[in-house]
Amino acid sequence: MPTPYYDEIETRVFESDESPMHGYRGVLDAPSALDVPAGLTVAISREAGARGTTIGGRAGAKLGWDVYSQEMLEYGAQTPAVHGEMLEKLTPTAREWVDEQLAQMQAERHLSQHPNILDLARIVLSLGAQGNVLLLGRGAGFLLPARSTLHVRLVAPLPDRVAYMSQWLRMTDEEATVEVSKRDHGRAEFLATHFHRKANDVHLYDMLLNTSLLGEERCADLIAAAARGKGAALLAENGGG
């Protein structure tokens, strides 16, 4: 059976009066005179039940950045009005950069030609052009340049992930085991089909964090510290440091 474009969403939508694409923490920094991308992006990949949404939210709060969940990225990819709004916020140079990045990935066949995937890529690249954002899921770390992206993978032992999923979704352990397996498989198939990548290839990430051993707060601290360090290096590279 063909892989559906969207798998089931593992996310908690924080209470907000804002529209889904506004993020749930922080505000974007003022426009920068730096080269595109203007700042660093944190992209988080996670195993099902590894508490990626919670940790991403905490890391975003520590950095003061907007956090875009999987649901928000999917909403943006499916809503033409959001495309136009985001492009309007970009400088002409940034819009050109987005087009160039997308064209290069298509030419190198690193990206499927599915229309929804191309829309998703444009949303992610537009956010990456602004920088100082944290993106959860949807292969964001494979769409953005390595030099301006902190690509993080969150993992945890299967029993811990099953226990978390059971508690979160109020399932039996047996039901949660099936749910974790289904989500892991769906995400792996999504990356393999549309990005030609293996989710469990540790060499694809800047950081690999075991959330069970480190805990949510320490993982968020480590992500924020690494983002500040890599962001400072990007600033210096762009002539701002």
pLDDT in tens, the chain (241 residues): 333 433 333 333 333 334 444 443 333 333 333 468 889 999 999 999 999 999 999 999 999 999 999 889 888 888 888 877 887 888 889 989 999 999 888 888 778 888 889 999 999 999 999 999 999 998 999 999 999 999 999 999 999 999 999 999 999 999 999 999 999 999 999 999 998 899 889 999 999 999 999 999 999 999 999 999 999 988 888 776 5
Whether 97 is covered by a domain: the verdict is yes
For the chain, report the end-to-end CA distance as a whole number of angstroms. Answer: 51
- How many other C-beta atoms can be found within 10 angstroms of the C-beta atom of residue 188? 15
Q: Give the burial string for 9-46 (b: 16+ CB within 10 Å, else e).
A: ebbeeeeeeeebbebbbbebeeebeeebbbbbbbbbbb
Whether 7 is covered by a domain: the verdict is no
Burial label for 184, CB within 10 Å (0-12, 13-18, 19+), is buried
Whether 4 is covered by a domain: the verdict is no
Q: Which domain holds residue 111?
A: 35-237
Whether 164 is covered by a domain: the verdict is yes
Confidence at residue 33, expressed as pLDDT on a 0 to 100 scale: 38
Three-state secondary structure readout of 33-96: CCCCCCCCEEEEEECCCCCHHHHHHHHHHHHCCEEECHHHHHHHHHCHHHHHHHHHHCCHHHHH
Whether 5 is covered by a domain: the verdict is no
Three-state secondary structure readout of the chain: CCCCCCCCCCCCCCCCCCCHHHCCCCCCCCCCCCCCCCCCEEEEEECCCCCHHHHHHHHHHHHCCEEECHHHHHHHHHCHHHHHHHHHHCCHHHHHHHHHHHHHHHHCCCCCCCHHHHHHHHHHHHHHHHCCEEEECCCHHHHCCHHHEEEEEEECCHHHHHHHHHHHHCCCHHHHHHHHHHHHHHHHHHHHHHCCCCCCCHHHCCEEEEHHHHCHHHHHHHHHHHHHHHHHHHHHHCCCC
Whether 21 is covered by a domain: the verdict is no
Predicted structure pTM score? 0.82
Whether 157 is covered by a domain: the verdict is yes
Question: Do residues 106 and 69 touch, judged by C-beta distance below 8 A?
Answer: no
Domain count, the chain: 1
Confidence at residue 29, expressed as pLDDT on a 0 to 100 scale: 38
Q: What is the CATH number of the domain that holds 107?
A: 3.40.50.300
Whether 12 is covered by a domain: the verdict is no
